Structure formats: structure tokens, C-alpha cells
Amino acid sequence: MRKSLEDKIKKIKMVAMDVDGVLTAGEIIFINNTDEIKIWNVKDRMGFALAHRTDNLKLCWITGRESKEVARCAAECHIDAIYQKATKKIQAYTDLKEKYKLQDDEIAFLGDDLIDIPLLRYAGLAICPADSPREVKKEADLVTKAQGGKGVFREVIELIIKTQDNWDKVCARYYEEGE
Amino acid sequence: MRKSLEDKIKKIKMVAMDVDGVLTAGEIIFINNTDEIKIWNVKDRMGFALAHRTDNLKLCWITGRESKEVARCAAECHIDAIYQKATKKIQAYTDLKEKYKLQDDEIAFLGDDLIDIPLLRYAGLAICPADSPREVKKEADLVTKAQGGKGVFREVIELIIKTQDNWDKVCARYYEEGE
Amino acid sequence: MRKSLEDKIKKIKMVAMDVDGVLTAGEIIFINNTDEIKIWNVKDRMGFALAHRTDNLKLCWITGRESKEVARCAAECHIDAIYQKATKKIQAYTDLKEKYKLQDDEIAFLGDDLIDIPLLRYAGLAICPADSPREVKKEADLVTKAQGGKGVFREVIELIIKTQDNWDKVCARYYEEGE
Amino acid sequence: MRKSLEDKIKKIKMVAMDVDGVLTAGEIIFINNTDEIKIWNVKDRMGFALAHRTDNLKLCWITGRESKEVARCAAECHIDAIYQKATKKIQAYTDLKEKYKLQDDEIAFLGDDLIDIPLLRYAGLAICPADSPREVKKEADLVTKAQGGKGVFREVIELIIKTQDNWDKVCARYYEEGE
């Protein structure tokens, strides 16, 4: 890993992210015109659990869409803050910084499309999935190997936890359990 | 890009398209015998937003199938005209030309199967997804890199907007926002 | 194409097939413990339409499972005969032969798993999807390029129609329409 | 196959497994905030049928999540024992050993994530899907060719049945039927 990237990762205290195309493969599904359905990934779920166990990483979702399912899932995953219908994502971002008293370089942002470019520019660590458009990749410090919905967050959170030297602590229970 | 293709793209004022196999991967899903479910792609959604922002591109859906979900989604995406249950797609096409006072060479058509061949022949710019049958590809000016449902429209609309020199205008807000 | 395979295809008057793993990718989905959901492929739909237009090919589904959705879809696709809950598929096959007064060499069978081996052996033309187990591929005259649910039937029906020299007749309307 | 692996497989009397990411591709789907939906694979279904026909292999599911759909499906597949909401999977494992009077080396365990590491260490035969994290693969005697949800169990059960010399017995009906 480049030294400059490593330095950026070490400072991160919050991982903020878009939802569709990052935590999902971008599928949009409705049933009987009712609420929107998402296809989440169990690998990311495990990632949220790992993040919480560091005790020093806040998690936030910022999405331009709105659905009960996103709220339900955020609650299930103990996401610290969630912004839906955020057409101006920069407002959510500014609000977040103030609420958690964070500097730009303490925030990582994961986004996959043009609408995420402003936040990718503000955040100290800009990350996008492998299947993002060229314009988005140009703004990113890091492009994940995973495509949207295939474990993007899991890949990112493992990298952050390992770079911040918390991996052994976070995983200890899996190796000690049952002994 | 071939000069002839570039010339064709520059004239386009409407993008008409089939739905199943173009905007979706061709999955047909029913729940409890009720209305049909589609799996849309958030990348195409962004594409519809980009198209609207050009102020000079009309969008139209022409499908041989019929469902409330297609109507709902067309409304959500502000599609200018929609034809369902169009077993003779040529009638929808003729109607469109008249309604918007367009010439054939001002219309791009995206279709993925044999039933789309007549419209691919009439439209000034004929486009099909990467996973179309050989007979359909033979009729196309352009075969997208994307497969049906994986961002075919997004790829097409970006190409049109860029070739018509509107990309910077359309994307300006993503680069200026927050400054 | 091998001459022997061509000869086999020319004799076919019925295409009988398993459902799960052939017309679908093998996904089994239930919602709220109610009826089973299938993910059908629009390319196969077009294939059923092409088959009907030959006027000399019967279509039949034989499945070991049972759901209202399979019955609904068979009706929508004008399938000539359908056997659900067919744990002994050979009984359905024997019944079919009698009902339509067909010989074994006039029947093609598409199956993807061990349970389909008896019918693959009886039918004059044995076909399986690309992702079938080795034991099944050993029984097949033809392994499709497509995987289950990705257009297996479409690939098969095009091959049959073309080999029986009916392709131009069947497709004529797509080339003549609108003239 | 390595002699040591062959020896391990020959002793197996129970195949215990995680559900999400093993029997599914890890998708987590909710509809209208109701019960969880899973996408099962018909190839694994056939695998459960094959396992039962050996008359000497017990099957068990151990999952950290909980849903009616998992219970329904386990019943449909005649799974011998099922543990849901098993946050400490080791308790389920210990309970299983006692209930069926089994030794560790008589149990195969299939798991795909960090939470499965303790059981992968206890079980005599540790198996994980192709798309498991590096830490999990390190614990496995065998990494399947299949990814989660794409026939992992089917691949495993075929290997076990063949290595235990029961394949011909189990499959006999497919070759004899109809004679």
C-alpha cells in the first residue's frame, strides 16, 4: 500500500457511504407498488459487526432514495447515522461533521456514481466500487476489488481495521471461542 | 468512433427503447399471480436524470408486455412517452414520430430481440445490448459493452451526451456543488 | 454440426423439458411461506413464441416440484402439456408419447440433473444446460452454451428451427413488418 | 485427492453447515419488513436427497440469523437438526455431538465467514466455499470450487458419497428407472 494511502486510512474515525450501488448491486425492486426492496449482502453485515467491535469507527449511510427497508436495515446493523432522500448529500455530510465533531480527514466516504463526487472530494479518504464510472474512479483514493453489493464495505472495513492495527483485537473472539 | 456513427449520434433528439432485456436482464418474476416484478438498475436511473438535464432529449419506452410496475417506474423516471402491450411496435414508433414531430434520423432505438428488428431498421441510430442474438446485432449501429439490465441505457446516454458536447454542462453540478 | 446430431434434430416433433435449472437458474424462492417464485427469462419467452410459429413443434414441461406459478406461466406461454409433482418423470413421458402419438426419436428432452437421466436416455435427442453435472452431460447429445435460466431453451429451439429449415418462415414477420 | 483428506472424508457421519453464504449467495432480502427471504439452489436440494439416500449421513444447519423461511426449508429438505439464532455456534455443535453421539472426526462443517472459524477448527473435516475470506480458507481442509449459493453443498455431498463408495448405490435409481 502507498504510504500516503496508509496515512489517510490511519486517521479515519467515520465511514460514511452511499447505499444503492455500494451496499447493493444497484438493483431497484418494487413489489405491488409498495415499499422498495433491497438485496443486502451477508458479508457486509459481518463487516458492520467488525466495525462496531473496534469501538472507534462511526458508520453512516447517506442515500438520495428513501425506503422503510433502508431504515429497518440500518437499525438492524446499528448504523450510527442515516440520511435518506439526501438530494444534496453535502448537507448530510456537513451535518455529520458537526454532530460527531469530525474533520474531513477523519471521514472515509464510499460512493459509486456522479452524485457522490462532491463527497468523494470533501472526505479525507475517497473510495468507490470496482464497477463505478470512470469519472468517479478518478476521484477515488481507492477502488475496491469488489463490485457494488458483492462485499465492497467488507473489503473497505477490513482494510481500515487492519491498517489501524485493530484486526487481531476485533477477531480475537473467533479464535478464542470454545477454548 | 467512426465518423458515420458520430454523425448519426449528433442528430438524435429522442431515445426510444424496449424494456425487458434492455433496462432489465430479462428476468420475468411474478409473486402470487399478481403484477409483474422488474429488477431495475440504479445506474440507468442516473442515466435518465442525465438525459433530462440535457433539455434536448426525449425518452420513450415501448414494450410488448404490460404491468403496473413499468408504468410506475416510467412515471418515477419522468419518461416522456410509454407504450405497453405494443405487439406491433411499429405503430408506437409511428405515433411517436408524429407526436414529437421527429424524423427517423432523430430517433435512437435500443432493442434486444427479434421483435425489435423493424424499429432497429427504421430508427436513425440502432443500438442493442451485448447479449442480444446475432440477428439483432446485425441490425445495430452500436452494440453496447453492457449486457441487458447492467447499465445499457446509461452507457448509451453517456455516449450521446458526450458526442453532442453536453457532458460538461450536464455534470457541472457534481463538480460545483458545495463550493 | 455432426451429421448424426443433425439427423436426430430433423426428426423432432416435441420438445419436453424440466423446469428448475433449465428454464431457471435453479433458484428456489418462497415469500411468506406462500407459493413458490420463479425467475423466468424473457429470451426463453421469445423462444416459446418462435416454437409455436413453426406449427410443427409441441412443447411440454415435466417438473418434480409443484407451484401455481409454473401453471400460470405455462398457460401464458401456451405450453401444450405440463406435468408437475412428477417424481417418476418416466410416467409423464410415457403419457406424452401416447397422447401425441409420438415415437422416442421424435422427442427432444432437456434436463439438468440426475433425476432427468432416464428421460435423457429415452428421448431421441438428449440436451442439457452448460452447468449440468458430469453424469448428466455424459447422457446428452448436446450441451447448450447457455447455463440454466440464461436462455437454454432459446438456444435449443433456434437450433431445432434452423436445422429443420423453418427459421426464415418463423422470422419473416420481423423483417417484413412495417413494409 | 490427498490421502489424509480421503481418510478424513471416510469417517464423516454428519454434515453440519452454516446457511447464509453457504446454501445461499449471502443475499439478505426482506419484503415489507416481514420475514426474511432466501434464494435457495435446486442443485443443493438434489444434494440433500442424495445424502438421505445414503442412510448413514446426518444433516444439520447452524445459523446466527433466524427466519421462518429457514425452518420451512429445513423441514422440506428433511434436515435432521436445525439451530437458528446461534450466536455461539459452538453450543449448537456441542449439543449435536451429544444428541447423535458423534466424535469430532465424524463431523464435517461447512462455513463461509469468521464466525464459523471455531466450528471449522473443531470439526474433523472443515470446508468453505470458494468466495470465503482468506482467514476462513486458512482453516479449511477443503475449499469448494462452487461459490456460496451456487451448489457448495452439492459439491461437498457428492465428494463425500463418492469417497465413501456409496455413489453407485445412491444413484442406481436414476439408471435403472424405467427398465
Cα separation, A34 vs B125, in Å, equals 37
pLDDT band at B31 (very low <50, low <70, confident <90, very high): confident
Residue B50 lies in a domain: yes
* C43-81 pLDDT per residue, tens: 999 999 999 999 999 999 999 999 999 999 999 999 999
pLDDT band at B179 (very low <50, low <70, confident <90, very high): very low
Give me the pLDDT at residue D179, please: 41
Cα separation, A164 vs A106, in Å, equals 13
Residue C176 lies in a domain: no
Q: What are phi and psi of B74, to 5 degrees?
A: -60, -40
Measuring CA to CA, which residue among A61, A103, A89 is closest to residue B173? A89
Chain D nearest-CA distance from A90, in A, is 29
Domain count of the fold of chain A: 1
Average pLDDT over residues B50-57: 97
Tell which phi-psi region holds residue C147, choosing left (phi > 0), alpha (psi between -120 and 50) or beta. Answer: beta
- Using an 8 Å Cβ cutoff, are C101 and C9 in contact? no
* C116-144 pLDDT per residue, tens: 999 999 999 999 999 999 999 999 999 99
- Domain span including residue D76: 3-170
Chain A nearest-CA distance from B48, in A, is 13
Give me the pLDDT at residue C71, please: 95
Amino acid at C154: R
DSSP assignment of C22-72: TTS-SEEEESTT-SEE-EEEHHHHHHHHHHHHHSS-EEEEE-SS--HHHHH
Give yes or no for residue A178 having a pLDDT over 60: no
Q: pLDDT exceeding 70 applies to what percent of chain D?
A: 97
Residue D177 lies in a domain: no
Q: Tell me the CATH number at C17.
A: 3.40.50.1000
* A130-145 pLDDT per residue, tens: 999 999 999 999 999 9
Q: pLDDT exceeding 90 applies to what percent of chain A?
A: 88
Cα separation, B18 vs B63, in Å, equals 5
Tell which phi-psi region holds residue C101, choosing left (phi > 0), alpha (psi between -120 and 50) or beta. Answer: left
What's the farthest any 2 CA atoms get from each other in chain B?
A: 51
**Which cell numbers in the block locate residue D38?**
432466501
Exposure string (b/e) for A57-67, b if CB count within 10 Å is 16 or more?
bbbbbbbbbeb
Cα separation, A147 vs B2, in Å, equals 31
C-beta atoms of B177 and A29 within 8 A: no
What residues of D are in the C interface, CB distance below 8 Å?
A: 31, 34-35, 37-43, 45-46, 50, 68-69, 72-73, 158, 171, 174-175, 177-178
- Using an 8 Å Cβ cutoff, are C92 and C62 in contact? yes
What residues of D are in the A interface, CB distance below 8 Å?
A: 20-21, 24, 26-33, 88, 90, 113-115, 117-118, 121-122, 133, 135
Cα separation, A117 vs C165, in Å, equals 55
Apex C172 CA angle, C171 and C176, nearest 5: 130
pLDDT tens over chain D, length 179 residues: 788 999 999 999 999 999 999 999 999 998 876 678 999 999 999 999 999 999 999 999 999 999 999 999 999 999 999 999 998 899 999 999 999 999 999 999 999 999 999 999 999 999 999 999 999 999 999 999 999 999 999 999 999 999 999 999 999 988 876 44
- Using an 8 Å Cβ cutoff, are D149 and D165 in contact? no
Give yes or no for residue A179 having a pLDDT over 90: no
C-beta atoms of D42 and C27 within 8 A: yes
Give yes or no for residue B121 having a pLDDT over 50: yes
Average pLDDT over residues A163-177: 91
DSSP assignment of B101-159: T--GGGEEEE--SGGGHHHHHHSSEEEE-TTS-HHHHTT-SEE-SSPTTSSHHHHHHHH
Give me the pLDDT at residue D124, please: 97
